[in-house]
Amino acid sequence: MAVVVEEDLVLQVLLAEGPKTVQELTEACSITATAVRHHLNRLMARGLVERRQQRYGRGRPRHVYFVPSDVRSELGNNFTDLAIALWNEIDAQADRPLAIRLLKQVGDRLGRTYRALVSGRSLAERLGRLVALFRRRGILAEMATSTDGSLALRLLSCPYQQLADGDRKVCGIERRVLSTALDANVRLTQCRLNGARCCEFEVRECAAGR
């Protein structure tokens, strides 16, 4: 496994599961403790991970590693000030039906752009390509399987963090983008704004005849 992939995996585990020790990361990432320490040192040098001591019972304190809250807010935030200003301007329109229609059209257009980049015969193939696209753009994402066997998309860093913090309508637009991109039924099942460690979307094939 390439070093950069291992390092990204360590960061993803910390984002998804919270603070962990070196031993816990070794088990979660299936790499050696030496490799984990190397990647943690690199991540700490970049300011992406911090370390603190935790004491359990009478034993020696142990070090746990975590992603600080300000870094969580920044990771995956690829919206410029212009995009935020445009969102606010559209949302502030007195003609609410027009504003809502424009926001939906923006979501559909972005979804169609993604769809052209992640084409595939199966839903799993399309979802895998969308995850790869997000990761290339600096958004920490992963494909998972829900408890009932359906596919799920987990966004460990929010690409719309600044917007979502101020307006939850962004979550609905994001779901619309994903649905259009994947040509699938998409449902938000976990949200970071509600305290979850990541945003998770259940992804299912569209009903026949859609």
Report the distance separating Cα 136 and Cα 116, nearest Å. 16
| 109-147: pLDDT as tens digits | 888 888 888 888 899 999 999 998 888 777 888 998 877
Task: Indicate if the pLDDT at residue 5 is higher than 80.
Answer: no
- Sign, CA dihedral 30-33-35-40, equals positive
Report the distance separating Cα 126 and Cα 118, nearest Å. 5
| 56-109: pLDDT as tens digits | 667 778 899 998 887 776 665 444 455 556 667 776 766 777 777 777 887 888
- Mean residue pLDDT across the chain: 81
Long-range contacts of the stretch 7-12 (C-beta < 8 A, 24+): 7/39, 7/42, 7/43, 8/135, 8/140, 10/36, 10/39, 10/40, 10/43, 11/43, 11/48, 11/49, 11/67, 11/140, 12/140, 12/142, 12/156
Alpha-carbon distances of 160 from 84, 163, 173, rounded to whole Å: 9, 5, 10
Task: Indicate if the pLDDT at residue 17 is higher than 70.
Answer: yes
* pLDDT at res. 136: 72
pLDDT band at 189 (very low <50, low <70, confident <90, very high): very high
pTM over 0.75? The answer is no
Residue ranges and CATH numbers for the domains of the chain are 3-67 (1.10.10.10), 81-205 (3.90.1520.10)
Task: Indicate if the pLDDT at residue 41 is higher than 50.
Answer: yes
Report the distance separating Cα 123 and Cα 187, nearest Å. 15
Report the distance separating Cα 98 and Cα 91, nearest Å. 9
